Chains A and B, each alone.
Chain A
Amino acid sequence: MPNDHLVRLVGLSKAFVKGKERIVIFDRLDLSIAAGDFVAVMGPSGSGKTTLLNLLGGIDRPDGGQLAVDGERVDRLSESDLARWRAGNVGFVFQFYNLMPMLTAAQNVELPLLLTRLSKQQRRAHVETALKVVTLSDRSKHYPREMSGGQQQRVAIARAIVSDPKLLLCDEPTGDLDRATADEILATLRLLNGEFGKTIVMVTHDPAAAKYARRTLHLDKGRFSERELAA
């Protein structure tokens, strides 16, 4: 496993205010994730798994501490810089796919490339490659409603990798799928990690899904405990 740290959290704090109550999610949390790692994050509901992904992906901000991804201090970026940073550095995969229903598979995958300076032909080539990686080249003109849940999630993965980000953040990517389809999706993620060197952080409740990761972190009350699982 590569040793360079792609993600580094130092003394990270995050709390939410609900009514008059202040709920502390993380209090001086430290975490390092090496480039090329595939980390599963498990834990009970409310343990802060989703908040962790939000922070790592720059869609939420920490209250304190440092968050660096590939050497870039994400916690210091402005809103517009964060948007730019997300476009180039992070791919997201959601539990419910979150595809645009009025766009075809290819158009959904192309969305992140609208933020680049690539030509139409270059964008098309990138989209074809991404769909080929997830073995959906033959479905490029299909709309989400014409595809199964597993196929939609593979389109979502293609969308996440089309701009070639280093970090993939997956939030319960198999939570809405049957076992066989979930295994296909997880195999795809393992392929992206093993063959394409993507660093993956995957939140899951499913121990079987976590087995696809190189290591599993258990999050409880804002603290990690680690268990190594066989890859």
Chain B
Amino acid sequence: MSDFLLIRKYLFRRKLRAGLMLVSIAIAFLIFGVLAGFERAFNAGEDVAAADRLVVVNKINFTQPLPVAYFNRVGSVDGVRQVTHLNWFGGYFQEPKNFLIVLAVEPQSYMAVYDDQLAIAADARQAFVRERTGALVGEAMAKKWGWRVGDRVPIMSNIFTQKNGSRTWDFTIVGTFAGRKPQVDTNFMVFQYAYFNETQNLGKDMIGWLALNTTSPAANEGVAKAIDRMFANSPHETSTDTEKAFNKAFAAQLGNIALIVTLVVGAAFATILMIVGNTMVMALRERTREIGVLKTIGFSGVRVLRLVLGESVLLALLGGVPGIACAALFAAAMETRVGNFIPGFAVTPGIAVTAVLLMLLFGILTGLIPAVHAMRLKIATALGRS
């Protein structure tokens, strides 16, 4: 026998109670894992944003378009190393519920500006520039839909129509790309702006936004001001900011939902932990006499404290680890369903490590008061002998 066996025996002494506490903790950490996964997804854009990248959008709202002519004018601003333009397509595959992130881009400049994020093979690069109806598909999206290079895929838009009235554009997949960092989401596709601009009948020669690299992050502020000054008092005034700020603002659109989710599940998490903590205190109070016996035998106060803390920490780990594992499985299962709307929704190793640290903290917090009480408990009082 060892202290660990003693701790384990104490913990599972009342199996039903231990089981219920474990389930409660598992649920708490399942909630935590899912919440943290959502939060990570919402903030993933900020994590991958390049320090030297700026985004230029319409000052009214980033859903308002800008003239494509801005592309060349922005490229000529001092401090701009390279620039590209992008356009939201609002695509879906086969039916509207199969929402896809599809962007119309200028191929060469797009691949240059986002070279720090996207790994694209040389043959795919060449094909993308060459093929007017070609599309580059992210690995995550290709995997999800089972698409391969050479496949022809019809993609519909819920915003744009072609001149012939059709909402469907046919693309040939000319290559795939991967993320250079694990946080880079590849659940999207890009195709040639020229093909889009030529065929669509809504706002010709307009683009969604511009993305550019500056010569250095130190030049960001000056470049942003110069661009916005250049288009001041024009019909399409601009607002230029860092990519990080842009992504944050984009994510902030979902901010209220995220806040509500955070508050609701956070309250549930805290409530469950308090219930478990209270049960733990009660369980230890029932054991006052046995603590007295241990001390009578010669267990020191510090050793009794260690036993009680060990029990609460073991309880937290035994409940929390399956909970966070379930959260990871849940996220993996949901990835195919919500991946289009919340790319990057996953329980990462970082979240798992944070969860384990929280479990340790929870174990110590719930066990601390009864442990200190047990440590200080006078034997005569515990045995009812005073």
Number of interface residues of B (CB under 8 A): 27
B379 near A98 (CB under 8 angstroms)?
no
B295 contacts A by Cβ under 8 Å: yes
Query: Which one, B12, B293, B297, B378, contacts A115 given CB within 8 A?
Result: B297
A112 near B297 (CB under 8 angstroms)?
yes
Query: Which one, A87, A101, A107, A110, contacts B298 given CB within 8 A?
Result: A87
Contacts of A84 in B (CB 8 A): 298, 300
Per DSSP, chain A at the interface is helix
Beyond A83-B300, A83-B301, A112-B297, whether A102 also contacts B380 by CB under 8 A is no
Beyond A54-B380, A83-B295, A101-B13, whether A114 also contacts B2 by CB under 8 A is yes
Contacts of B385 in A (CB 8 A): 50, 54, 59, 171
B290 near A100 (CB under 8 angstroms)?
yes
The A-B contact count (CB < 8 A) is 75
B297 near A16 (CB under 8 angstroms)?
no
Report the bound CA distance from A151 to B299 in whole Å.
25
Per DSSP, chain B at the interface is helix
B386 near A98 (CB under 8 angstroms)?
no
Beyond A50-B385, A54-B380, whether A111 also contacts B297 by CB under 8 A is yes
Q: Which residue of A lies closest to B293 (CB)?
A: A98
Contacts of B296 in A (CB 8 A): 57, 59, 86, 92
B10 contacts A by Cβ under 8 Å: yes
A80 contacts B by Cβ under 8 Å: yes
Closest CB-CB distance, A24 to chain B, in whole Å? 15
A60 near B386 (CB under 8 angstroms)?
yes
Closest CB-CB distance, B188 to chain A, in whole Å? 57
Q: Which residue of B lies closest to A86 (CB)?
A: B298
Query: Which one, A57, A100, A114, contacts B3 given CB within 8 A?
Result: A114
A115 near B299 (CB under 8 angstroms)?
yes
Closest CB-CB distance, B316 to chain A, in whole Å? 20
Q: List 29 A-B contacts (CB under 8 A).
A: A54-B385, A59-B295, A59-B296, A59-B380, A59-B383, A60-B380, A80-B301, A80-B302, A83-B299, A83-B300, A84-B298, A87-B298, A87-B299, A92-B297, A94-B293, A100-B9, A100-B290, A102-B10, A102-B12, A103-B9, A110-B1, A114-B1, A114-B2, A114-B3, A115-B297, A115-B298, A123-B1, A159-B297, A171-B385
Chain B positions within 8 Å of A, measured between CB atoms, are 1-3, 5-6, 9-10, 12-13, 289-290, 293-302, 378-380, 383, 385-386
Across the A-B interface, the 4 shortest Cβ-Cβ residue pairs: A87-B298, A59-B379, A83-B300, A102-B13
Known: A80-B300, A100-B290. 16 other contacts (CB 8 A): A50-B385, A54-B385, A59-B380, A83-B295, A83-B301, A85-B298, A87-B299, A94-B293, A94-B383, A98-B290, A103-B6, A107-B1, A107-B9, A111-B294, A115-B297, A171-B385
